[in-house]
Amino acid sequence: MGFKLQINEMDAYLSIKAIGSYTLPDLRDFLDRAAEEAEKRGYRPVLLDIYEVTGSVPILDMFELGGHCASVWNRRIRVAILTRDGGLDKFFENVARNRGIALAIVPNQDAALAWLSI
């Protein structure tokens, strides 16, 4: 994977931060790894921080990634994704949600923790 990862087990949730430049394979691998880590560590609330992933995510990539999440993520996990403008957006969120994933794109950590109900 091309991203540098920081994984932290918090008291009530799992936090995974990615740093690097956007490519579709790297973000797909990151989402796979996040699902694996949540399962392995037994966390249901998960905060994914991709704020420091640079580059724009094309709309077709968001569609593919939203569908991909639905195929690899356990439907019991609840995911908040912290992202910047140009990263994943509400379109990605809608694609994933329409396929049964409990996911929200959030602007900051406070909003993420509120959505995760922590």
Q: For 92-109, what is each residue's pLDDT tens digit? A: 999 999 999 999 999 999
CATH of the domain at 98: 3.30.750.24
* Backbone φ, ψ for residue 64 (5° rounding): -60, -45
d(CA 1, CA 22): 11
Mean pLDDT of 43-70: 96
**pLDDT above 90 covers what percent of the chain?**
93
User: Residue 116 in contact with residue 77, Cβ under 8 Å?
Assistant: no
So what's the pLDDT on residue 1?
60
pTM to 2 decimal places = 0.94
Confidence of residue 85 (pLDDT cuts 50, 70, 90): confident
d(CA 108, CA 31): 19
Question: Which strands make up the sheet holding 14-21, listed edge to edge?
Answer: 4-9, 14-21, 45-54, 78-82, 102-106
State the residue range of the domain holding 78.
4-115
- Structurally, the chain folds into a number of domains equal to 1
Q: Which two tokens stand for residue 73?
A: 């993520």
CA atoms within 13 A on the CB side of 93: 15
So what's the pLDDT on residue 47?
98
* Backbone φ, ψ for residue 73 (5° rounding): -90, 140
